[in-house]
């Protein structure tokens, strides 16, 4: 423990730069998937525990296409469209039927979906850890102590572009406005002529596509494995619980925060990297609860 | 003799004769009782009190490790650290007395550890409601699993192999079968008695409206603590038993979050949560389906189980008991007030 601290702050402070960069990369992924989670949560009150598995599914789709030599700029739209369709199917078969149920049902049903997706992916691709090698140049700084693959920079840029597109879409487009109206008051939206059921389906499919995009980025900059989804689910939940629904700047800030925390934890002990988002989630829940308890309220 | 008495006779006969008639399935039936126990104790908090925990498996894992430590450290002079660092190459010969005394103490200690842990957890978990409680408790289970593998004292990621049973293998499985069966019976009758007391009414009131229950003077926090404590005690005990039954424990065995952790919830939902018999029935059906899937659909068993889980929750979430209650309400002593139903119907028509 002390040795690692000394390494970080006395012997090789440049390692910090590497960790911060990695934290920003993983934070970008967390931000995308957390935004999707908050969208679905806010619009139709579904808590999607399969969020991370949608991400991993997108990653494996990209990995599969890459094996056939499909270039990245074609992979991304294919994954977006396929995941959008998949999200729509899941909505019609599952989510539609649990919309007006109590909230635990949505949690458990999506947990079941998460198990199913893990197992199907495991069946198709096997349990090995996979990654896409983009064969792009790697930048080295500080005598090779900090390495920045340009594929990671590309992924970060892509994440920013996607996030920007989503924000513009939600603010400007007719559908985006309808989604926000439905989130505010489904009944009023229905009265005003919005097909709420379609908006729900669209929102879930949109979230699925967003996760798919995040998954493509994961498969480029990190590794994917059928059972890694839970980390992203837990991270997204932690971010949304901390930032609240529909607060985009807070989502981005807490996503980068959790990314950095995860990377620093992983530096001390690699097993902690997996547990870090969970720890953050628990800490956020506790903190919110302590604050609420002063007013004799509870976290609902 | 009422219907429930016949059910007891039937289940009791099956429990006693099952392993005698089908000795090859003894361990499978033992796991059936483990599932019954898990689902029933989950239902104390999940179905009856309305706090859906996804983290009861934490107590199972902690109990397993605590019993391993107790069993080894009491009768092996080298201590747990030496035993685990040898990675199973040390096989101390326990005498029969040492083994059974260690097992007994281990199970008790495991139950108490679960109880203690639940008291600690409940001091900060019960301010969370609904989905936050479920996610938070799931987080606790994941965190416990990750913390356990970083502790070298209990073997870290490589796990601990449990002391060898002094006796032949058939005696061993029958012995552990009897313990599992006994625990399931004990838990069932404790819960049956508990639900018939004022406590049962109080926790149902908490489920229906916690604020009102509190306003009526029910000490909600204490009652929820008792409920989780009972579940935690039994989960710890059965964790110790399963650890010895399997013979080797590591993270996967001790914290089976995606398997037993979710199966017990699914079983309780399948049978119908919030009833005494629902979890028992659900656990039996779920276990039979699970074992059939393992034999018939080998390779696809997990996919089949995931599908079963989704279909159960999405399409049939009132559960078997819930379905029976709406179908034959008079058999459960439920009186449906027809006048009210008619009134609302006529209102809708108007």
Selecting from A108, A122, A237 the residue whose C-beta is nearest the C-beta of B265 gives: A108
**CA–CA separation, B185 and B180 (whole Å):** 9
Give the model's pLDDT for residue B78.
64
Does B127 sit within 8 Å of A275, measured CB to CB?
no
Does B306 sit within 8 Å of A119, measured CB to CB?
yes
CA atoms within a 13 Å half-sphere pointing along the CA-CB vector of A11: 8
Give the model's pLDDT for residue B178.
92
Partners of A110 on chain B (C-beta within 8 Å) are none
Give the model's pLDDT for residue B79.
67
Residues 45-104 of A with CB under 8 A from B: 47, 49, 93-94, 97-98, 101-104
ipTM: 0.82
Does B314 sit within 8 Å of A94, measured CB to CB?
yes
pLDDT in tens, A198-233: 999 999 999 999 999 999 999 988 889 998 888 888
**CA–CA separation, B142 and B124 (whole Å):** 17
Partners of A285 on chain B (C-beta within 8 Å) are 128, 132, 135-136, 139
Average pLDDT over residues B109-133: 90
- Residue B53's contacts (CB-CB under 8 Å, 6 or more residues apart) are B42, B45, B46, B133, B134, B137, B228, B231
Partners of B142 on chain A (C-beta within 8 Å) are 230, 234, 275, 278
Does A282 sit within 8 Å of B131, measured CB to CB?
no
Give the model's pLDDT for residue B289.
87
Residue B91 pLDDT greater than 80, yes or no? no
Partners of A271 on chain B (C-beta within 8 Å) are 146, 149-150, 157
Average pLDDT over residues B201-220: 91
Give the model's pLDDT for residue B324.
81
Does B266 sit within 8 Å of A112, measured CB to CB?
yes
Does B52 sit within 8 Å of A113, measured CB to CB?
no
Distance from CA of B145 to the nearest CA of A (A): 9
**CA–CA separation, A149 and A137 (whole Å):** 6
B136, B274, B305: best mutation site toward chain A, by most A Cβ within 10 Å? B136
Residue B341 pLDDT greater than 60, yes or no? no
Q: Measuring CA to CA, which residue among A24, A26, A38, A27 is closest to residue A240? A: A38
Residues shown for chain A:
300
Q: Has residue A299 been placed in a domain?
A: no
Distance in angstroms between the alpha carbons of the first and the last residue of chain B: 48
Assess B262–A contact: CB distance below 8 Å, yes or no: yes
Partners of B135 on chain A (C-beta within 8 Å) are 47, 49, 107, 237, 281, 285
Beta bridge partners of B160: B249
Residues 212-271 of A with CB under 8 A from B: 230, 234, 237, 241, 269, 271
**For B266, which residue in chain A has the nearest alpha carbon?**
A108
* Total domains present in chain A: 1
Q: Has residue A300 been placed in a domain?
A: no
Does A282 sit within 8 Å of B313, measured CB to CB?
no
Selecting from A122, A230, A279 the residue whose C-beta is nearest the C-beta of B143 gives: A279
* Three-state helix/strand/coil letters over A177-194: HHHHHHHHCHHHHHHCCC
At residue B56 the predicted structure's pLDDT band, cuts being 50, 70 and 90, is very high
**CA–CA separation, B66 and B62 (whole Å):** 6
**CA–CA separation, A134 and A71 (whole Å):** 9
Decide: A115 and B258 in contact? Cβ < 8 Å: yes
Decide: B96 and B112 in contact? Cβ < 8 Å: no
Average pLDDT over residues B248-274: 86
**CA–CA separation, B350 and A108 (whole Å):** 39
Decide: B269 and B319 in contact? Cβ < 8 Å: yes
Classify residue B328 by burial, with Cβ atoms within 10 Å: 0-12, 13-18, 19+: exposed
Residues 178-217 of A with CB under 8 A from B: none
Distance from CA of A44 to the nearest CA of B (A): 14
Give the model's pLDDT for residue B85.
64
Q: Where are the alpha helices (DSSP H) in B197-219?
A: 198-208, 210-215
Q: pLDDT under 70 in chain A at which residues?
A: 1-2, 7-8, 10-12, 142-144, 246, 300
Give the model's pLDDT for residue A211.
94
Residue B337, number of CB atoms within 10 A of its CB: 8
DSSP state of B318: T
Tell me the average pLDDT of chain B. Answer: 84
Q: Has residue A54 been placed in a domain?
A: yes
Residue ranges of domains in chain B: 26-317, 318-350
Please give the CATH topology (third level) of the domain spanning B26-317: ABC transporter involved in vitamin B12 uptake, BtuC (1.10.3470)
**CATH number assigned to the domain comprising residue A21:** 1.10.3470
Give the model's pLDDT for residue B128.
86
CA distances from A232 to A1, A38, A60, B151 (A): 27, 14, 15, 25
CA distances from B292 to A229, A241, B97, B296 (A): 28, 40, 39, 6
Assess B297–A contact: CB distance below 8 Å, yes or no: no
Element holding B52 (H helix, E strand):
none
Average pLDDT over residues B45-52: 89
At residue B35 the predicted structure's pLDDT band, cuts being 50, 70 and 90, is very high
Residue B167 pLDDT greater than 90, yes or no? no
Q: Has residue A10 been placed in a domain?
A: yes
Give the model's pLDDT for residue B314.
82
Does B146 sit within 8 Å of A272, measured CB to CB?
yes
Does B262 sit within 8 Å of A275, measured CB to CB?
no
Residue B310 pLDDT greater than 90, yes or no? no
Assess B298–A contact: CB distance below 8 Å, yes or no: no
Q: Which of B18-32, B118-132, B152-166, B208-222 has the lowest mean pLDDT?
A: B152-166
Give the model's pLDDT for residue B92.
67
Q: Taking the model in full, what pTM does it have?
A: 0.85
**CA–CA separation, A187 and A196 (whole Å):** 9
Give the model's pLDDT for residue A6.
72
At residue B317 the predicted structure's pLDDT band, cuts being 50, 70 and 90, is confident
Residue for token digits 């424990």?
A: B249
**For A270, which residue in chain B has the nearest alpha carbon?**
B150
Tokens of B148: 């356990």
The residue segments making up the domain with residue A280 are: 2-294
Selecting from A103, A237, A271 the residue whose C-beta is nearest the C-beta of B146 gives: A271
- Sign of the torsion formed by the C-alpha atoms of B309, B315, B319 and B324: negative
Higher pLDDT: A144 or B115? It is: B115
Residue B343 pLDDT greater than 60, yes or no? no
What DSSP letter does each residue of A70-111 carry, written as one string? --HHHHHHHHHHHHHHHHHHHIIIIIHHHTTS-HHHHHHHHH
At residue B86 the predicted structure's pLDDT band, cuts being 50, 70 and 90, is low
Give the model's pLDDT for residue B47.
86
At residue B250 the predicted structure's pLDDT band, cuts being 50, 70 and 90, is confident
Does A237 sit within 8 Å of B136, measured CB to CB?
no
Tokens of B272: 């119908």
Does B130 sit within 8 Å of A300, measured CB to CB?
yes
Selecting from B132, B150, B266 the residue whose C-beta is nearest the C-beta of A299 gives: B132
């Amino acid at each position: 423990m002390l040795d690692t601290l000394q390494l970080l702050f006395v012997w090789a402070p440049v390692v910090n730069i590497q960790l911060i960069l990695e934290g920003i990369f993983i934070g970008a992924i967390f931000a995308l998937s957390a935004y999707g989670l908050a969208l679905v949560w806010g619009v139709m009150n579904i808590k999607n525990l399969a969020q991370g598995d949608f991400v991993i599914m997108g990653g494996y789709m990209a990995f599969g296409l890459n094996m056939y030599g499909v270039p990245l700029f074609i992979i991304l739209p294919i994954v977006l469209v396929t995941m959008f369709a998949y999200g729509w199917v899941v909505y019609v078969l599952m989510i539609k039927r649990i919309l007006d149920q109590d909230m635990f049902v949505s949690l458990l049903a999506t947990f079941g979906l998460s198990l199913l997706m893990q197992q199907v992916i495991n069946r198709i691709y096997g349990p090995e850890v996979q990654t896409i090698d983009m064969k792009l140049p790697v930048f080295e700084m500080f005598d090779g102590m900090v390495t920045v693959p340009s594929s990671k920079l590309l992924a970060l840029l892509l994440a920013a572009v996607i996030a920007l597109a989503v924000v513009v879409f939600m603010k400007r487009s007719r559908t985006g406005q309808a989604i926000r109206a439905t989130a505010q008051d489904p009944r009023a939206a229905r009265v005003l002529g919005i097909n709420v059921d379609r908006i729900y389906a669209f929102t879930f499919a949109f979230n699925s596509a967003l996760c798919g995009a995040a998954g493509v980025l994961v498969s480029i900059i990190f590794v994917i494995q059928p059972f890694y989804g839970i980390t992203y689910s837990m991270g997204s939940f932690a971010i949304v619980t901390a930032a609240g629904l529909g607060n985009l700047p807070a989502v981005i800030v807490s996503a980068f925060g959790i990314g950095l925390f995860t990377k620093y934890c992983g530096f001390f002990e690699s097993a902690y990297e997996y547990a870090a988002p969970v720890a953050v989630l628990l800490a956020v829940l506790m903190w919110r609860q302590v604050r609420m308890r002063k007013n004799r309220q509870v976290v609902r | 003799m009422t219907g429930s008495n016949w059910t007891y006779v039937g289940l009791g006969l099956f429990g006693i004769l099952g392993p005698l008639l089908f000795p090859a399935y003894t361990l499978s039936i033992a796991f059936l009782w483990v599932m019954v126990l898990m689902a029933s104790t989950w239902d104390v908090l999940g179905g009856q009190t309305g706090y859906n925990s996804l983290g009861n498996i934490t107590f199972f894992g902690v109990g397993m490790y605590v019993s391993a430590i107790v069993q080894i450290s009491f009768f092996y002079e080298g201590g747990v650290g030496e035993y685990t660092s040898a990675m199973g190459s040390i096989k101390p010969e326990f005498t029969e007395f040492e083994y059974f005394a260690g097992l007994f103490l281990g199970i008790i200690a495991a139950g108490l550890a679960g109880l203690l842990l639940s008291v600690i957890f409940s001091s900060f978990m019960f301010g969370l409601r609904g989905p936050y409680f479920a996610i938070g408790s799931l987080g606790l289970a994941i965190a416990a699993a990750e913390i356990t593998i970083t502790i070298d004292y209990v073997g870290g990621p490589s796990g601990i192999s449990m002391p060898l049973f002094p006796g032949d293998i058939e005696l061993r499985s029958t012995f552990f079968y009897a313990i599992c069966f006994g625990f399931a019976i004990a838990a069932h009758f404790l819960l049956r008695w508990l639900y018939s007391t004022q406590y049962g009414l109080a926790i149902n009131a908490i489920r229906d409206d916690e604020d009102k229950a509190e306003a009526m003077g029910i000490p909600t926090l204490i009652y929820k603590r008792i409920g989780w404590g009972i579940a935690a005690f039994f989960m710890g005990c059965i964790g110790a038993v399963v650890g010895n039954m399997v013979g080797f424990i590591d993270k996967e065995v001790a914290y089976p979050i995606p398997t037993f952790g979710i199966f017990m919830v699914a079983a309780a939902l399948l049978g119908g949560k919030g009833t005494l018999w629902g979890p028992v029935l659900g656990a039996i059906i779920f276990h039979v389906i699970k074992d059939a899937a393992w034999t018939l659909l080998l390779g696809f068993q997990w996919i089949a189980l995931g599908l079963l889980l989704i279909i159960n929750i999405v399409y049939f979430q009132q559960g078997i008991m819930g379905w029976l209650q709406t179908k034959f309400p008079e058999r459960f002593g439920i009186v449906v007030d027809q006048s009210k139903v008619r009134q609302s119907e006529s209102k809708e028509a108007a």
